[in-house]
Amino acid sequence: MPKSSLTLVLGGARSGKSRFAEGLVTARPAPWLYIATAQAFDDEMRDRITDHRARRTDGWETVEEPLEIAAVLGAVPGGRPVLVDCLTLWLSNVLLAGHDAETEAARLAATLARPRGHWVVVANEVGLGIVPENPLARRFRDAAGWLNQRVAATADRVVLTVAGIPVEVK
Amino acid sequence: MPKSSLTLVLGGARSGKSRFAEGLVTARPAPWLYIATAQAFDDEMRDRITDHRARRTDGWETVEEPLEIAAVLGAVPGGRPVLVDCLTLWLSNVLLAGHDAETEAARLAATLARPRGHWVVVANEVGLGIVPENPLARRFRDAAGWLNQRVAATADRVVLTVAGIPVEVK
Amino acid sequence: MPKSSLTLVLGGARSGKSRFAEGLVTARPAPWLYIATAQAFDDEMRDRITDHRARRTDGWETVEEPLEIAAVLGAVPGGRPVLVDCLTLWLSNVLLAGHDAETEAARLAATLARPRGHWVVVANEVGLGIVPENPLARRFRDAAGWLNQRVAATADRVVLTVAGIPVEVK
């Protein structure tokens, strides 16, 4: 069995992607590192964060980092199982912060291409609806699609969750 | 062969999910029960209902029930093949009626977890586009995702229709 | 090996569908015919077209045809590998031009049902998000779903690209 791997868990809204990804990480020996990219801007987001936290018990160390997840990953001890949840919120944070999404995505993808332990990253699939009328939403959708492609290209395993069921993609 | 089963047919808009689900039901001996959740609020909906009805010939008994499908299912004779089309419209009806979606979804999921015949339920996958700007649409999307997960968890078979082609998910 | 075939490559926005489809075509002996349906209405579209063109090198002949792709396909020499990119933009062009989408889609589907060489067509899957509030977007979504079903029904192979990875559907 290899000592390191990258798994990308893709899914739609409420498709069970976080739960499935957590199960992959906790199947490894603790301690596990959870890198949370969500920011509690409003009540809706606060509820989601609380909900996700409630599922994580002993054995988890949590780092809340909306932007510098490449840096955090760079500092993770080798061999530590890591969950990043999620890339799509991170991308949204990058765009909101006015950073260059292209550059940041390339940097993150390069870091994820060299996992130093069993790393699992969660991302949303957002490109299977009608073209959004809002130009910013279109740009975001494109950037999210590119990021998913880049990460999937180097991932050892890609899973799409459909109604909570994992479907193997790669 | 088991005497009862639950099949969930998931799909996007115009993905052929109803047609595929109907085929699963009519592969069993008639009579078949069709539980229709659509309400003819407008011409668009009336056209869809007419279209669906035109495909169903002899052998089908139809119950049009926008809300109380758990009660209808509770009264179905054992061994009767049933088609419920669809869960997502039902959820929309529940929310529009001001009922508690969480409670109703839990009740329906519990009923579907104990099929008393070969039951097939159709649902829309609505979570693979960009996050909707409308907060009600976000709540609906979340509720639909949860419902699909709950039903898929106990289903014997889950199929995703893609351009009319069934893809086995579970 | 058969002398002609139809492959449908479906995918969301930025899912790698064009790139994958191009690879299928260039795996055959040149010359290859590219039928481009995109029209450069704005900068965003112009950028996408430039981007796609940059990937196509020697061996490609390009026909830019927003509407009459059935006619173009009818005139293609037998045995020539063809890429049509994409059906969904073509459908949008048909609707914008005020043509009857139903009639045009039936005509195109009939042409694609009798490929005279190895033909690859690209289409967007747009039906897996929330129901659009805009009635025109709903009509477009329905028409796109129907078209995809029709083409998939006669296709020898249907592939869904997810984050750049091809998933076999048929």
- List active site positions of B: 52
Structure token pair of residue C95: 């609707």
Give this complex's ipTM. Answer: 0.92
Query: Tens of pLDDT along C32-85?
Result: 999 999 877 777 777 777 777 777 778 999 999 999 999 999 999 999 999 999
Hey, is the C-beta of A23 within 8 angstroms of any chain B C-beta? no
What confidence tens digit (pLDDT) does each residue in A9-59 have?
999 999 999 999 999 999 999 999 999 998 777 777 777 777 777 777 789
Q: How many other C-beta atoms lie within 10 A of the C-beta of residue A4?
A: 14
Do residue B140 and residue C130 have CB atoms under 8 angstroms apart? yes
Tens digits of per-residue pLDDT, C147-166? 999 999 999 999 999 999 99
Phi, psi of C119 (to 5 degrees): -105, 135
Token reading at A45: 């987001």
Residues 6+ apart with CB under 8 A from A91: A101, A105, A140, A143, A144, A147
Structure tokens at A168: 């193997």
Q: Which residues contact residue A54 at a Cβ distance below 8 angstroms, ignoring those fewer than 6 apart?
A: none
Pairing of strands B157-162, B165-168: antiparallel
* Min Cα–Cα distance to chain B from A78, Å: 34
Q: What pLDDT score does B47 carry?
A: 78
Name the percent of chain C in helix, strand, coil, to the closest 5: 40, 20, 35
Confirm whether residue A92 is marked as ligand binding. no
Is C11 marked within a binding site? yes
Segment A10-19, tens digit of pLDDT: 999 999 999 9
pLDDT tens, position by position, C77-116: 999 999 999 999 999 999 999 999 999 999 999 999 999 9
For residue B83, give every residue at least 6 positions away whose Cβ sits within 8 Å of its Cβ, in sequence order, or none. Answer: B21, B22, B25, B32, B33, B34, B35, B119, B120, B121, B122
Q: Is A85 known as a binding-site position?
A: yes
Cα nearest neighbour of C160 on chain B: B162
| pLDDT above 80 for B48 | no
Residue B118 token pair: 């070969």
Instruction: List residues bridging with A9 in a β-sheet.
Output: A122, A159
- Is residue B151 within 8 A of residue B114, CB to CB? The reply is no
Straight-line distance from the first to the last Cα atom of chain C, in angstroms, rounded to the nearest whole number: 18
Chains that touch A (3 or more CB pairs under 8 A): B, C
Nearest to B126 by CA among C149, A162, C91: A162
B125 min Cα distance to partner chain A (Å): 8
Q: A148 contacts in C (CB within 8 Å)?
A: 14-15, 163-164
pLDDT at B1 over 70: no
Q: Are A128 and B133 in contact (CB < 8 Å)?
A: no
B60-64 and B118-124 beta bridge pairing: unpaired
Cβ–Cβ pairs < 8 A, chains A and B: 73
Annotated active-site residue A52? The verdict is: yes
pLDDT at site B49: 72
Q: Does C77 touch chain A (CB under 8 A)?
A: no
Q: For residues B101 and B144, is the Cβ–Cβ distance under 8 A?
A: no
Q: Which domains does chain C have, with CATH numbers?
A: 5-168 (3.40.50.300)
Is the pLDDT at B43 greater than 80, yes or no?
A: no
For residue B20, is pLDDT > 90?
Answer: yes
